[in-house]
Amino acid sequence: MQRDFPACADSEPLWPLIEKYPHHVEEKQNKSTVRSGIAFMKRHPILYNFLLMILVGCGVLWIALLGLDIWTDHGEYEVVPDMKGLSYAQAVQALESAGLRPELSDSIYDQHTAPGTVLEQSPRARTKVKPHRTVYLTITAFSPKMVSLPTLTDMSLRQARTTLEGLGIRSIREVTVPSEYKDLVLGVKFNGVTIQPGARIPTSATITLEVGEGISLESDSIDAAEALESDMEATTLNLE
């Protein structure tokens, strides 16, 4: 049963009454606060709606950030292990054990490294990443890369070398052949056999370039004149 708050004179102190009827005083204060809020809403509807929009927006933002933290595993991370020097199978097992996903991104032929050996990785070792992050691996190819031979004849030796090196061919030999055009590529050979443009060859192949040695026409004319002069002298001696 609710008891009424007794009336008191203006001169009567209020604290003794509050101590005697605390629940009644609290209820009165709550009702007064509600009435003040309703009165504020009626006096300032635009301001009230604006404050309400801000409050709702803050709530939505807080919920979105909380959901984002849960979705992205905020605060959780894995350390990428060092995969260099391991075989591809060993690297896959190590990454899966660490909660990461391995993926082969590229292969490079290296005759000095065992096929299937991890050469590079991304992200780098000891990098902190999110769980289930993909780690890209570059390994040694099991066979040399095959390329198509471009047209090299009738171009300079320097240009032919640059073209072959651009394809990844590093083993290049030069053989001079008689020609009036110095350093002009006249033929291309692989394993002693002349090959034509478009042929498929491995990048580890040794390519032989037949290059003109540059015999000048002037020296040819001098040699021919000397030979003719010798023939004429021999004919004169025979006649005598």
CB 213 within 8 A of CB 179: yes
Assess contact for 78 and 98: CB atoms under 8 A.
yes
* Structural Rg of the chain based on CA atoms: 46
What pLDDT shows up at residue 93?
93
- Taking phi first (over 0 means left), then psi (-120 to 50 degrees means alpha), and beta for anything else, what does residue 94 get? alpha
**Cα separation, 136 vs 37, whole angstroms:** 61
pLDDT value for 74 = 59
Q: How do the domains of the chain map onto residue ranges?
A: 15-71, 78-140, 146-217
pLDDT of residue 239: 42
pLDDT along the chain (240 residues), means of 10: 48 50 55 67 75 86 76 72 93 92 89 90 90 92 89 94 93 92 93 92 92 69 56 48
pLDDT at 48: 72
Residues 95, 135 contacting (CB under 8 angstroms): yes
User: What was the pLDDT predicted at 144?
Assistant: 85
Query: Hey, do 78-140 and 146-217 end up sharing a CATH topology, with the first three levels equal?
Result: yes
Q: What are phi and psi of 40, to 5 degrees?
A: -65, -40
For residue 51, the model assigns a pLDDT of 81
Q: Which two tokens stand for residue 75?
A: 């605060």
Taking the model in full, what pTM does it have?
0.47
Q: Which CATH class is domain 78-140?
A: alpha beta
Please classify residue 67 by burial: count the beta carbons closer than 10 Å to its beta carbon, then call 0-12 exposed, 13-18 middle and 19+ buried: exposed
- The arrangement of secondary structure in 146-217, i.e. its CATH architecture, is 2-Layer Sandwich (3.30)
* Residue 11, pLDDT score: 46
Contacts of 14 (CB under 8 A, 6+ apart): 8
Specify the pLDDT at position 5: 46
